[in-house]
Structure 1
C-alpha cells in the first residue's frame, strides 16, 4: 500500500485540490500554488457548493436586463 495517489505514482500532471466553477468568473482552484489545466483536476465543484453567490448575482442581473 502506498500513500501516493495513482497520478503521483505515474508522474502525471494533476492537482489534489478542487476546481470551483463560477458563473461569472473564471474557475479557481482550492490550492494556492496550482498551475495545471482545468482538465487535470479530479474534483470539480459548482461555486454554490462552497457558498459563492455569483450565480444568484448573474440571475438577478439577467432578470434586470430582460
Structure 2
C-alpha cells in the first residue's frame, strides 16, 4: 500500500486542497501554491461552510432602501 493519492500515483495534475466557491467572487483554493484548474480539484465546498459571510454581505447591499 502506498501513501500517495491515486492522482499522484498516476501523475495527473491535481490539488490536495479544497476549492471554496463564493456566490459573487472567483473560487479560491485552500492551498497557497495551487496552479490547477477548478476541474482538477476533488473537493469543492460552498463558502458558507467555512464561515464566510460574503453571501450575507451581498444580500444586505442589494436590499438597501434608499
Unmatched 5+ stretches in structure 2:
none
Offset of residue 64 of structure 1: 2.3
Higher helix share: 1
**2:64 match: secondary structure:** helix
Unmatched 5+ stretches in structure 1:
none
Dislocated runs of 4+, deviation >2 Å: none
Q: TM-score if structure 2 supplies the norm length?
A: 0.91
TM-superposition CA deviations, 1:29-63 (whole Å, max 9, x none): 00000000000000001001111100101211222
Q: TM-score if structure 1 supplies the norm length?
A: 0.91
**2:32 match: secondary structure:** coil
Q: Number of residue pairs matched? A: 65
Match of 1:32 in 2: 32
CA RMSD of aligned residues (A): 1.2
